[in-house]
């Protein structure tokens, strides 16, 4: 994705750029610098397009069927780069260009240009009303329900104040326990169609700002009250029936975590509980709620689940000292983002012993081990799958593509004899710093680490030698 940011100016909307991304080469080839050199980036190219329009008084330089979306970019970029006092010139040029387009192209332009106008155009600009008239006059020429509804909304002038800033102000009001109708009425938006258009946008904005203080936009201590407030809202069920909006909601919550994970650790339990309860676990298949969520965010959510899985699993055996050592050890890998996925496997005796509330929302397999209170957990780190088995005080290390590697996501039976793999090669204090274990691993053998001696140092070395991932010097 291209990001064009001008100092002291708004960021050009990413959805605008995505539509023309595939045309970059054409644009680049067509609008090379007048001095015969290639501009460093598209920002410079778009600047030159805008200057050409003003200097020549014509849009002929961009009239090409392969560049039909460029005028849309021009409209938005123009208001970010060229002084707004020139807007009247551009408005006249654009109208002339628009009239020459086919009806199909006109509909496309109106729809796409409308959303940019709706969310980004500065209503304080003197030419605002002129552009509003343009939309009203041209949308009226088409018998199109979608465009007609947009026109009805357009008639409510105050709606245009609900750009990104306006949405955030409304979200702030919602967190102060004002309902959406009140938040809109406060801004003189009462038309039913306008309220319907705005309500879902405001609701989604609430999730985007769920971590932020309503006044200072600094991180708050807890989001539990806000989640309860938003869960009780009837808009949640409406959005859950729309796959795209569901994906937007999930993405709004997870995106901040992707950029600065450590800051959001305190919210993880609340996030997981809410997302799992409303949109199911990402590991369940099929799951339409997650179908349009970015792959990296899906993987991030698996890592969040891993944090709670490891904490809960080893706390089931809090009376065993070595299990607490394991918890502390693997948590270091978690905080580095190196554990990609986990899968607990609990024995029937363990399940019977644990309070049902402690298992709430947890997915796990069943361990066939007999009438003993023992369990196992799978951890994926890089190309490795590690199996911690409480009964063995040991960890087994599999290559993820090994034929005997246990699968993740099975809620059925796992046999203990398969998990512990009787032909595993033990790596301990005596041989872990030799090449013997690595040769055995490369030959397809499974490595076993017994939790004694310097077992933590041994596992760190093995993981580093195979994957290159390290939490510290070994």
pLDDT in tens, 310-357: 999 999 998 888 899 999 999 999 988 899 999 999 999 999 999 888
> What pLDDT is stored for residue 286 in this prediction?
76
Kindly report the backbone phi and psi dihedral angles of residue 240, in degrees, each rounded to the nearest multiple of 5, phi listed first: -65, -20
Higher pLDDT, 440 or 349: 349
> Residue 12 above 60 pLDDT?
no
Q: What is the reported pLDDT for 192?
A: 74
Predicted pLDDT at 67: 40
Tell which wins on pLDDT, 140 or 338.
338
Confidence of residue 154 (pLDDT cuts 50, 70, 90): low
Q: Where are the alpha helices (DSSP H) in 214-317?
A: 224-231, 235-240, 243-259, 268-279, 295-315
Please provide the average confidence, as pLDDT, over all residues in the chain: 75
Tell me, letter by letter, the H, E, C secondary structure of 238-257: HHHCCHHHHHHHHHHHHHHH
Query: For 126-150, what is the mean pLDDT?
Result: 68
Q: What is the pLDDT of residues 170-195, one digit of tens each?
A: 888 999 889 888 988 887 777 776 68
Report how far apart, in Å, the C-alpha atoms of 189 and of each of 130, 175, 214, 412, 473 are. Answer: 21, 19, 21, 54, 60
Angle at 409 between CA 406 and CA 411, to 5 degrees: 95
Bigger pLDDT: 455 vs 49 = 455
Residues 344 and 365: their CA atoms lie apart, in Å, by: 6
The pLDDT score that the predictor gives to residue 2 is 22
pLDDT bucket at 238, cuts 50 / 70 / 90: confident
Q: Looking at the predicted structure, is the pLDDT value of residue 215 above 50?
A: yes
The pLDDT of residue 395 is above 60? yes
Average pLDDT rounded to a whole number, residues 81-99: 60
């Amino acid at each position: 994705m291209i990001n064009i940011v001008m100092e002291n100016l708004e960021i050009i909307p990413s959805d605008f750029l995505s539509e023309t991304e595939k045309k970059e080469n054409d644009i680049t080839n067509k609008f090379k610098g007048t001095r015969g050199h290639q501009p460093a980036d598209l920002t410079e190219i778009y600047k030159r397009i805008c200057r050409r329009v003003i200097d020549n008084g014509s849009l002929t330089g961009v009239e090409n069927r392969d560049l039909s979306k460029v005028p849309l970019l021009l409209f938005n970029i123009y208001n970010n780069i060229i002084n707004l006092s020139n807007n009247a010139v551009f408005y006249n040029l654009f109208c002339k260009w628009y009239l020459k387009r086919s009806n199909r192209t006109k509909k496309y332009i109106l729809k796409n240009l409308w959303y940019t106008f709706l969310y980004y155009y500065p209503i304080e600009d003197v030419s605002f009303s002129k552009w509003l008239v343009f939309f009203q006059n041209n949308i009226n020429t088409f018998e199109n329900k979608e465009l007609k509804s947009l026109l009805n909304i357009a008639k409510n002038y105050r709606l245009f104040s609900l750009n990104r800033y306006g949405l955030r102000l409304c979200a702030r009001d919602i967190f102060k326990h004002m309902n959406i109708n009140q938040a809109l009425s406060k801004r003189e938006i009462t038309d039913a169609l306008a309220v319907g258009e705005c309500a879902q946008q405001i609701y989604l904005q609430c999730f985007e700002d769920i971590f932020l203080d309503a006044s200072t936009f600094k991180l708050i201590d807890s989001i539990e009250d806000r989640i309860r407030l938003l869960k009780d809202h009837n808009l949640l069920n409406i959005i859950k029936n729309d796959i795209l909006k569901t994906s937007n909601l999930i993405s709004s919550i997870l995106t901040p975590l992707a950029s600065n994970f450590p800051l959001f650790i305190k919210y993880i339990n609340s996030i997981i509980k809410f997302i799992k309860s409303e949109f199911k676990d990402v590991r369940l298949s099929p799951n339409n709620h997650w179908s349009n969520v970015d792959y990296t965010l899906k993987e991030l959510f698996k890592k969040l689940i891993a944090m709670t899985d490891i904490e809960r699993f080893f706390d089931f055996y809090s009376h065993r000292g070595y299990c607490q050592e394991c918890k502390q050890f693997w948590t270091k890998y978690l905080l580095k983002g190196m554990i990609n996925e986990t899968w607990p496997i609990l024995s029937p005796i363990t399940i019977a012993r644990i309070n049902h509330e402690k298992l709430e929302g947890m997915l796990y397999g069943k361990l066939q081990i007999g009438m003993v209170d023992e369990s196992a957990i799978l951890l994926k780190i890089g190309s490795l799958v590690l199996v911690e088995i409480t009964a063995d005080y040991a960890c087994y290390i599999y290559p993820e593509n090994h034929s005997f590697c246990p699968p993740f996501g099975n809620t059925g039976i796992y046999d203990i004899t398969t998990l512990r793999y009787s032909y595993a090669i033990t790596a301990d204090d005596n041989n872990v710093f030799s090449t013997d274990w690595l040769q055995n691993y490369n030959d397809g053998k499974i490595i076993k680490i017994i939790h004694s001696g310097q077992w933590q140092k041994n596992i760190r070395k093995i993981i580093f030698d195979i994957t290159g991932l390290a939490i510290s010097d070994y």
